[in-house]
Structures are given as C-alpha cells and as structure tokens.
C-alpha cells in the first residue's frame, strides 16, 4: 500500500483584515493571526479520508518555512496525518520563496518518501499563485489532476473530476500523480481534542533544502551564476472605489464611452489590470 505526501502552507488567516506595512515593502505579518491555507486543509482531509478507507497506508504532511511552519504541521497531524516534515527556510530565502522553490522541495521529498500521490491545495490565499502543484508534477514528470472536486483511486490509476471553466472534466491518470484540491472536494474536519493530544506524540522531522539537493535561488532568463532572486517590489493598498459616471443605457453608446474615457492613472500599478478587465468584459455584440 502507498504513501501520500501533503503540502501545507501557513498563511495569514482568511478572516484577518490585511494591512500594508508603512514602508510599502509588504504586508504586516508580525503578531497577525495565521492558520493553515484553507485549500491545504481540504488536501489534508482528502488524504486522511483515503487512509481511513484503507486505500493508502501513510500520510505525511510537509511545510516549508521558519519555525512557525511547525504549527501548521501540528494542525495537519491533529487532523489525522501520521507524521510531518518541516523543511526549514528562513531569512532572505524565505522572503524570496515561491512556488518554484516549494515544488523543487516537494519533488525531492516525493522521490525520497516514495510517495504515490502528492496532494496540495490548488492555490494559497496569500499569493493566489496556483502553480506549486503543476510545477511539482512537471519536475517529477508525473501526471497531474488539478482543481480536483472528486478523487477516486482505481487500482494503480486515479480518477479525478476537475472543475474547469466549462464545467466538470473527468480524467483518469496513472499513479504516481500530483493532485491539487479545489473547494468542493470535501469539507475539512475539525481536529478533535483526543487527536490534538495524540498529535503531540507524532514525529516532525526537520531538514534544510540543501539536504534535499534543492537550490532556493530562482534564476532569471539570463541564467547567470548568481541568478536573479524573485523579489517583491511594492505593496500598496487597493485604492477606494472611484465615483461612477452616468452614461446612456444603450449598448452601442457604451463602447465608445469606455474607449474615450480615461479611467485611471497609467503610472499606478493597478491601472494595467483595470484596463485589461474592462475591455475584456464589455465586448459589443454584433449590430
């Protein structure tokens, strides 16, 4: 029987109001309530359910980050994972850590642990990247079942119902595979008091990326020996809503009005995405 690796990420709790740091270098994380990424909870729940159905033998929870990441692993253990692995990433490495680095780590661990499945959340609610699962599959050259809303093990294959733009797509992929959990895959359980107590005795192994042969630097297209580090430049608060303007109700009048009006200051970062969404949303129908 097989082993499942579940990646869990510690993020700012979804209910917290995000604040930008006064120097605009990022968002405030000190003293702010953190918890497990909701999609990661769904991933853990799915893995634990597979174990309860006796389809897999062991669930290993992995998290990358500083010491606080172990809190998230403990929550996963309290939900039913058997053991945890904390890959310690701190300081500058942690600040520049993104999906590429995490997927390298997960790929290395999946090989080392001889996992049959790697399950992660479809995206994290802080960066909304939606990349880690897919990159991990590519690095391992494993099939991927992303945006999973239903997972069924069938022998050495996995049937995955995926939520896609057009509706639901069902695929059958070979194991080992990478799955990413979508919202409707399941409803995560609360950890019970006895399980929280039992989790205290479960082991969390500690290791550094270097031990897995993973280089935490992300290289730019130039690919130089030092590489470019992916670095956040600026964090600004979303500006408050602008006043609307009255325009005539006819659609044929609408299009020229949008094109003619300058809604935004092109020098601000948000301007670009606003243009994109406007012109894409309002397409004049023929005639």
Summarize as ranges the residues that interact with other proteins (CB under 8 A).
Answer: 15, 17, 19-23, 28, 30-32, 35, 71, 74-75, 78, 190-194, 196-197, 199-200, 237
- Give the residue with the Cβ less far from other proteins, 18 or 257: 18
- Give the residue with the Cβ less far from other proteins, 31 or 222: 31
Least distance from C-beta 189 to other proteins, angstroms?
9
Contact 9, 40 (CB under 8 A): yes
- Give the residue with the Cβ less far from other proteins, 91 or 194: 194
- Give the residue with the Cβ less far from other proteins, 169 or 237: 237
Task: Give the DSSP H or E segment for 61.
Answer: strand 56-65
- Establish whether the linkage from the previous residue to 204 is cis, with ω within 30° of 0: no
Contact 210, 165 (CB under 8 A): no
Least distance from C-beta 22 to other proteins, angstroms?
4
Least distance from C-beta 260 to other proteins, angstroms?
32
Least distance from C-beta 70 to other proteins, angstroms?
9
Least distance from C-beta 224 to other proteins, angstroms?
33
- Give the residue with the Cβ less far from other proteins, 33 or 250: 33
- Give the residue with the Cβ less far from other proteins, 35 or 101: 35
In a 3-state reduction of DSSP, which class is residue 67?
Answer: coil
Least distance from C-beta 31 to other proteins, angstroms?
3
Sequence-separated (6 or more) residues with CB below 8 Å from residue 122:
39, 130, 133, 146, 147, 180, 181, 182
Residue 151 structure tokens: 């997972």
Least distance from C-beta 166 to other proteins, angstroms?
32
Sequence-separated (6 or more) residues with CB below 8 Å from residue 85:
60, 61, 62, 63, 73, 109, 204, 205, 206, 207
Distance CA 250, CA 109 (A): 59
Residue 46 structure tokens: 């799915």
- Give the residue with the Cβ less far from other proteins, 16 or 254: 16
Least distance from C-beta 158 to other proteins, angstroms?
30
Q: Which of 91, 95, 90, 93 is nearest to 25 (CA)?
A: 95
Distance CA 118, CA 44 (A): 11
- Give the residue with the Cβ less far from other proteins, 156 or 237: 237
Burial class (CB in 10 A: 0-12, 13-18, 19+), 234: exposed
């Amino acid at each position: 029987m097989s082993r499942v690796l579940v990646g869990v990420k510690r993020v700012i709790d979804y209910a917290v109001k995000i604040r930008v740091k006064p120097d605009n270098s990022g968002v405030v994380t000190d003293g702010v309530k953190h918890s497990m990424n909701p999609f990661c909870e769904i991933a853990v729940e799915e893995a634990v359910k597979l174990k309860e159905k006796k389809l897999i033998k062991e669930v290993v929870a992995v998290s990358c980050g500083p010491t606080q990441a172990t809190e998230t692993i403990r929550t996963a253990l309290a939900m039913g994972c058997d053991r945890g692995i904390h890959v310690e990433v701190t300081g500058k490495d942690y600040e520049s850590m993104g999906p590429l680095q995490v997927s390298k780590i997960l790929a290395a661990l999946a090989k080392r642990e001889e996992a049959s499945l790697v399950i992660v959340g479809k995206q994290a609610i802080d960066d909304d990247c939606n990349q880690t699962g897919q990159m991990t599959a590519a690095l391992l050259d494993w099939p991927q079942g992303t945006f999973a809303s239903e997972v069924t093990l069938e022998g050495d294959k996995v049937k995955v119902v995926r939520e896609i733009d057009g509706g639901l797509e069902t695929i059958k992929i070979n194991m080992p595979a990478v799955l990413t959990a979508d919202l409707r895959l399941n409803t995560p359980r609360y950890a019970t008091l006895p399980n929280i107590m039992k989790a205290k005795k479960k082991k969390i192994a500690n290791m550094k990326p270097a031990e897995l042969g993973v280089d935490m630097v992300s290289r730019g297209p130039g690919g130089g020996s030092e590489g470019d580090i992916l670095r956040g430049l600026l964090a600004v608060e979303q500006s408050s809503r602008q006043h609307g303007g009255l325009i005539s109700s006819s659609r044929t009048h609408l299009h020229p009005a949008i094109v003619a009006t300058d809604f935004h200051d092109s020098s601000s970062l948000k301007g670009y995405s606003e243009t994109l969404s406007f012109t894409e949303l309002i397409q004049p129908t023929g005639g």
